[in-house]
Amino acid sequence: MITSIAWKNIWRNRVRSGVIISAITIGMFAGVFTSTFYKGWINQRLEAGVETEVSHIQIHNPDFNENFDLKSDIPNAPDIAGQISRLDIVDGVSSRMVVQSMISSSETGTGVKMLGIDPDKEKTVTNLYTKIPEGQYFEGVKRNPILIGKKLAEKLRVKLHSKLVVTLQDSEGHLTSEAFRICGIYDAGNGMFEEMNVFVIKTDLARVVQLDESTTHEMVIHLKDHDELNPNTDLLAEKYPGLLVQNWKQLTPELGILNEYGNIYIYFFIGIILLSLGFGIVNTMLMAVMERVKEIGMLMAVGMSKFRVFRMLMLETVLLTLTGGLLGILLGLAVTAATMKSGIDLSFYAQGLEDMGYSSLVFPVIEFKMVWVIIALVLITGILASVYPARKALKYRPSEAIRIDM
């Protein structure tokens, strides 16, 4: 009964109610769509960072991270790699040789990190082999193939099958040079990563720097269950106390922050929108209440309790808020669903975005947990916004309210 009366009271002034419902709808649409867009953007960056760049866990000799000394390798690396690969938690292990070097084309040069890998094992820890629009993954070149990033290719002004000269310091401290030929150019969607990392076959790099081909400076591990990242990191750290075991959150702190605080940012953004709308709802309901002081006084005079009057006014505010909020949420979800497959093209900003590691084609993501949280926040906003107008209406005694001339 009271709910029906409250709903009818909302539409006594259709223009005013329509305006505030429209404002709530637009605000919630903006909040939901922006949240799904941002969530999709975060997920894409995290996927690229983990699956393409660093994988789940990396193991190093603690001294290697400090000075990149070629002799600071992982002791007994083949045995350790075999032990880890047999663990149920792991679905891929790749041993890398890492060397800091200078790379030059016929026109220019720059510093890079050379990663000597086993191409087949590397496929089990990253998906870089799927990101090669030009050339092939260590095929098509017979001697010293090298895989470089798109940004590095642009910087060196080279193309597929161009020759590059690598200058580096071998294990004895002597400068040496070797020619490599580009077998493929990868596009990881991260300009910084593409410019700084080149991949060669481990045996080729071992020959150049005069190290045994089993020498490993970096062991990359891909887990079966990403949700068990922290426990599995701790497990490996306990199993190999003399080595530095780090997961992707520790290796790339910016991705860790993005993962940890992404949802907080989304809810904070929604909260700001609802706070702004809350003031508008309070103002609208306060006007509605002040126009009906005499009417409310008469209801109390004929026997309606203050509690029921308070409940009726609260229901009016909550219904008003929920109507606009649910319409906005549904509209936001509808637009998100329409753009989930095709994505949203930000190619106008592609250059700057890719330099920071973000894709220019964003696929929004709907997370129903987030939707339910937003609905709960809308309901809480309606309840909080209703308290002051309802209390204002009850401050008068029935005899005083009836005599007020509106």
Does residue 63 register a pLDDT over 80?
A: yes
Instruction: For 364-405, write each residue's pLDDT tens digit.
Output: 888 888 888 888 888 888 888 878 777 776 666 655 555 555
Contacting residues for 192 by C-beta, under 8 A, at least 6 apart: 151, 355, 356, 357
Does residue 355 register a pLDDT over 80?
A: no
pLDDT of residue 348: 65
Q: How far is CA 199 from its chain centroid? A: 27
pLDDT of residue 347: 64
Instruction: For 288-320, write each residue's pLDDT tens digit.
Output: 777 666 666 666 666 667 677 777 777 878 888
Bridge partners of 146? 182, 200
pTM: predicted TM-score of the whole model, two decimal places: 0.75
pLDDT of residue 378: 85
Q: How far is CA 290 from its chain centroid? A: 47
pLDDT category of residue 93 using cuts at 50, 70 and 90 = very high
Residue of 181, 117, 188 lying closest to 150 (CA atoms): 188
Residues 263 and 370: beta-carbon distance below 8 Å = yes
* Residue 217 burial class via C-beta count within 10 angstroms: exposed 0-12, middle 13-18, buried 19 and up: buried
Residues 112 and 101: beta-carbon distance below 8 Å = yes
C-alpha–C-alpha distance, residues 250 and 230, integer Å = 11
